[in-house]
Amino acid sequence: MRKQLLTTTLVDQVHEQIMDYIKENKLVPGNSLPNEVQFAEMLGTSRNVVREALSRLKMIGLIESRTRRGMILKEFSIFDSLKNGFDPIFLGENSLLDLLGFRVSLELGISDDIFQNMTEEDINELEEIVRFGVMLKNNEYALGSEYYFHAKLYEITGNQTIAQFQKLIRPIMVYIKDNFKAYFEPINLELKNKGLIVTHADILKCIKERNLAEFKNKLENHFLVYKIFIREKRGTSKRIRTEQYLSLKSPALMKDKFFHPNDFSSDNSLD
């Protein structure tokens, strides 16, 4: 058990094996897990290695442990698992721009859900938020107002995962606004001169009028500053093709893949 020829370390393997154990025994949130020494014996490793693997699972919130009570499986939430140990400072500029674009696209895509789900009460709360929103200059809302207005929109969709995502990338939004202020100001100025500034009040108006098309339009313009910023910042940098796509330039190969769609789960060449 002291070989390490592979790229994967023992901890990596134990990490996998513990997850396999959970799967095989069909544990559900609330169930308790074997204790550390049991895992160590079961997997033929030292308790130390088991603890490192468990530490990872604790970080992502898959398990929880307390002295004497042992460990229990927790309900896993994909974006909550990232909230620990995450800071915009660790992201490269491309990732930052990507995430900004990601967020904008996502919000543009939930328009239908918003109109489908919203109630009178929702609209009242949005009005309340807009009323107290502080307009600083151009359309640079105070971060608080900005956050709560959009948080409310996310909430209306009823999709908690989207709400979690917003919470997760909030520091990123703050970071971007702090660090690229110089880029936003001239863009906003130009938009203002062209009369393209869309405020939260404008968006709310469309909601109250139940005008979905106009809502989408306004929302797009509301995010225009970000879209322009991203395009300017990226400049002429080439689009990068995803490897998985490059790998199937050959029609013959592609055809082969498509006719065996069930082989995908065990197909590493595409990951």
Partner DNA sequence: TCATCCCATTTATCCTACAAATTAAATTAT
Partner DNA sequence: ATAATTTAATTTGTAGGATAAATGGGATGA
Residues in 28-87 at the binding interface with its own copies, rule: CB under 8 A: 29, 48, 51-53, 55-57, 59-60, 62, 67, 75-78, 81-82, 84-87
Q: Is residue 96 within 8 Å of residue 172, measured between CB atoms?
A: yes
Residue 19 structure tokens: 């997850």
Question: How far, in Å, CA of 269 to CA of 175, rounded?
Answer: 36
Asked whether position 114 contacts DNA by CB under 7 A, the answer is no
Amino acid at 199: T
Q: Is residue 72 within 8 Å of residue 32, measured between CB atoms?
A: yes
Asked whether position 124 contacts its own copies by CB under 8 A, the answer is no
Interactions with DNA, residue window 14-33 (CB under 7 A): 33
Residue 267 structure tokens: 């197909």
Nearer of residues 33 and 53 to its own copies, judged by Cβ: 53
Among 25, 31, 35, 161, binds DNA (CB under 7 A): 35
Phi-psi region of 23 (alpha: psi -120 to 50; beta: other; left: phi over 0): alpha
Asked whether position 204 contacts DNA by CB under 7 A, the answer is no
Asked whether position 269 contacts DNA by CB under 7 A, the answer is no
Size of the site for its own copies (CB under 8 A): 99
Amino acid at 206: C
Size of the site for DNA (CB under 7 A): 27
Q: Report phi then psi at 151, rounded to 5.
A: -60, -40
Question: How far, in Å, CA of 167 to CA of 148, rounded?
Answer: 11
Exposure string over 12-39, b if 16+ CB within 10 A, otherwise e: eebbebbeeebeeeeeeeeeebbebeeb
Interactions with its own copies, residue window 96-115 (CB under 8 A): 98-99, 101-102, 104-110, 112-113
Question: How far, in Å, CA of 228 to CA of 237, rounded?
Answer: 15
Asked whether position 85 contacts DNA by CB under 7 A, the answer is no
Which of DNA, its own copies, none does residue 36 bind to, with CB < 5 to 8 Å depending on kind? DNA
Which of its own copies, DNA, none does residue 248 bind to, with CB < 5 to 8 Å depending on kind? its own copies
Nearer of residues 51 and 170 to DNA, judged by Cβ: 51
Among 132, 137, 181, 269, binds its own copies (CB under 8 A): 132
Residue 28 structure tokens: 């559900």
Nearer of residues 72 and 248 to its own copies, judged by Cβ: 248
Interactions with its own copies, residue window 193-222 (CB under 8 A): 220
Amino acid at 267: D
Among 17, 22, 27, 36, binds DNA (CB under 7 A): 36
Interface residue list for DNA (CB under 7 A): 1-5, 9-11, 33, 35-37, 44-49, 51, 54, 65-71
